[in-house]
Amino acid sequence: MSDIQAIPAGHPSVVPHLVIRSAADAIEFYKVAFGAEEIKRMPSPDGRGLMHAEIKIGDGRIFLCDEMPQMERWVSPKSLNGTTVAVHLWSDNVDALFARAVKAGAKAVMPLTDMFWGDRYGRLTDPFGHEWSLAQHIKDVSPDEMAEAAAAFFQQGDGTGSTGE
C-alpha cells in the first residue's frame, strides 16, 4: 500500500497559481505585505526566473511563477494590463493588514469599508498587477437583512454603493 496522498499534506484542494513578472520580487513583497512564508522555489533551468514557487499566508497556499509568454497564456497582469481575479485574504485585524500592504507598496483600490454582508472589506492591487480583497468578518447578517441592505447599497450613486462624491 502506498503512502502517497492524492493531495499533498498541508495543501488545500484548491490553490491559486499566480503568474507574475518578477516572481522572486513578488515573494519578497508578499513576505513584507502579508507575512507570507516561502515554502519553496524552483528556478528555471536557464536561470531566467522561477518556474514554480510556493508561499503560505495564514493557513492558505499560493503557487506562483514567472510569466512565460512563449507558453501563450502564462503571462502576468502587467502584460495583460489588468487581471480578472482577486485573491481574497481574511484577517483578524484587517485594518493593520491593509495598512501594512499599502506601506509595502500595494495600491488601495477600495478603502476598507463596513459592508452590508457583515465584513470590513477593501481591495488592493499589488505592485505586480494582482488584485487582493482583504476582509474581517465583523457581524453576522441574516439572508433577509442582507437582501434589504444590498438593495439600499445598490440604490446609492452608480450602483456600486458609491455616491460619486
pLDDT in tens, 73-108: 788 999 889 998 999 999 999 999 999 999 999 999
Q: Per-residue pLDDT tens for 97-141?
A: 999 999 999 999 999 999 999 999 999 999 999 999 999 999 999
- The C-alpha atoms of residue 63 and residue 12 are separated, in whole angstroms, by 12
Residue count (the chain): 165
What is residue 157's predicted lDDT score, i.e. its pLDDT?
61
Residue whose C-alpha cell is 516561502: 38
- Cβ atoms 147, 116 nearer than 8 A: no
Query: Looking at the predicted structure, is the pLDDT value of residue 160 above 60?
Result: no
Residue whose C-alpha cell is 447578517: 141
Helix (H) or strand (E) holding 120: strand 119-125
* Fold (CATH) for 17-155: 2,3-Dihydroxybiphenyl 1,2-Dioxygenase; domain 1 (3.10.180)
Q: How far is CA 121 from CA 4, 28, 115, 135, in A?
A: 39, 24, 7, 4
